[in-house]
Structure 1
Amino acid sequence: MANFKELRIQNISQGVLAHTFIDEEPILKLTSPSLKVVHNFTQKSPLRATENTTISQALKLVSGDKSDYVLVTNEQQNLLGLVSSADLQSAKITIIAQRLGVKNNEVSLSDVMTPITDLAGVSMQSLSYSCIGDALQTMEHQGVMFLLVTTAHNEICGLISAREIARKLQIPLHITPIAQTFSDVIANVEHPH
């Protein structure tokens, strides 16, 4: 114990107990820092499932983890896309099953996911000097429900969910998906969001 020093002792005979402070979640506003709503994957691993996971399996994962989304990966853990919990429970599943000629429980995440090529990303650096309103404005303009967050080395390190922002701030969402392909246009006509 020669490497340590002794602390100064205080007289506590007249001491009173300190008050307990409840660590409440801070009230968020559109002007709060964007970083307050980032799901940081370096702090908590995101919910992942492989592309051939069925919708019913994914629903169990989402409800058990209380997550808004599932990241869809291949066997090598490369990110292929994303599926929202809302999509897992939507009429979109029935439409896709009919189109594929399979039963609803045979539809896989690869059939439903938004591919990584259609997802929007922002850098953690740009989020560090932005507010929640900026992130929401970006999602509205891009027609996306999620923003993937990247490091300076273009690694995906987090995600922002529009639904979570709306829930936490108790505000309505005004995001209209932007069709990327003709089949997206047909899907939106068959099943508007």
Structure 2
Amino acid sequence: MLKDFRQVRLQDIADVSEVVTPKIVSEQITLASPAEKVMTDFNRVMPITASKNMQVDHALQLMKTQHVRLLLATNDQGEFVGIITAREILGRNVMAYMKSNDIPREDVLIKHVMIAKSRLKALTMEQARQVKIGDVMETLKGSGEQHVLVVDNATSTKKICGIVSASDISRQLKVGFDVLYEAKSFADIEQIVTHGRTI
């Protein structure tokens, strides 16, 4: 296949001294920004899915290569059936399933330890446009979860259209999520986000 391509002659850059920056600076993301601003939008980014019949360690490897900690589980028809996170695979769930069913680890599949969609809650797309990033932070903190799915229910068929994750919030605000959690008040959080100071 590579015989169809050729090496490109690269240019010397010893005389280059400037870096291009955007002419339009993207808006500053704060805790008061709409949650939609930190949502991974599946209309723009391909969601990472895995068959519910995938072996759990293969799922973990897929997470590592895709730099995610959550996969959307699908059935044989490609329909959404639940989620699997690194926490389910690396925590006690896999060991507990192995023990209770007397099977080796290689026989544990996503469907055995995933969180079924019947147990999940999500934001609607309308909520994602209205609620603040700080609201989602409080929600994640209260639930102990690292992700919240977003559902588009504006059409006759409801669809998972995005996801908001603690890591995305942390990256957008440029502050560790654990640091944000240590804040005693909204004012403390604003100070951390705005000035990068610790409490």
TM-score, normalisation: structure 1:
0.70
Aligned to 1:73: 74
Do the aligned partners of residues 97 and 164 (structure 1) sit closer, same or farther apart at CA in structure 2, a change above 3 Å counting?
A: farther
Aligned to 2:98: 97
Aligned to 1:189: none
Q: Which has the higher helix share?
A: 2
Task: Measure the CA separation in 2 of the matches of 1:166 and 1:98.
Answer: 37
How much has 1:126 moved relative to structure 2? 1.5
Letter in 2 for 1:136: M
Which digits, 9 at most, give the CA deviation of each residue in 1:124-154, with x for residues without a partner? 1121122111112233445543221111123
3-state SS of 2:177 partner: coil
Task: Measure the CA separation in 1 of the matches of 2:90 and 2:27.
Answer: 31
Root mean square deviation of aligned Cα: 2.8
Which digits, 9 at most, give the CA deviation of each residue in 1:23-61, with x for residues without a partner? 999765422331122111111111111111001111121
Aligned to 1:42: 43
Do the aligned partners of residues 163 and 91 (structure 1) sit closer, same or farther apart at CA in structure 2, a change above 3 Å counting?
A: farther
Letter in 1 for 2:175: L
3-state SS of 1:77 partner: coil
Task: Measure the CA separation in 2 of the matches of 1:80 and 1:97.
Answer: 22
Give 1 or 2 for the bigger CA radius of gyration: 1
Task: Tell me the percent identity.
Answer: 25
Question: Is the aligned partner of 1:161 residue 2:151?
Answer: no
Do the aligned partners of residues 156 and 33 (structure 1) sit closer, same or farther apart at CA in structure 2, a change above 3 Å counting?
A: same
How much has 1:88 moved relative to structure 2? 2.1
Q: Verify the 8 A CA contact 1:120 1:142 in the aligned structure 2.
A: no
Q: Verify the 8 A CA contact 2:167 2:177 in the aligned structure 1.
A: no
Task: Measure the CA separation in 1 of the matches of 2:177 and 2:62.
Answer: 27
TM-score, normalisation: structure 2:
0.68
Aligned to 1:60: 61
Task: Measure the CA separation in 1 of the matches of 2:170 and 2:43.
Answer: 24
Q: Structure 1 regions of 5+ residues with no counterpart? A: 1-16, 175-193
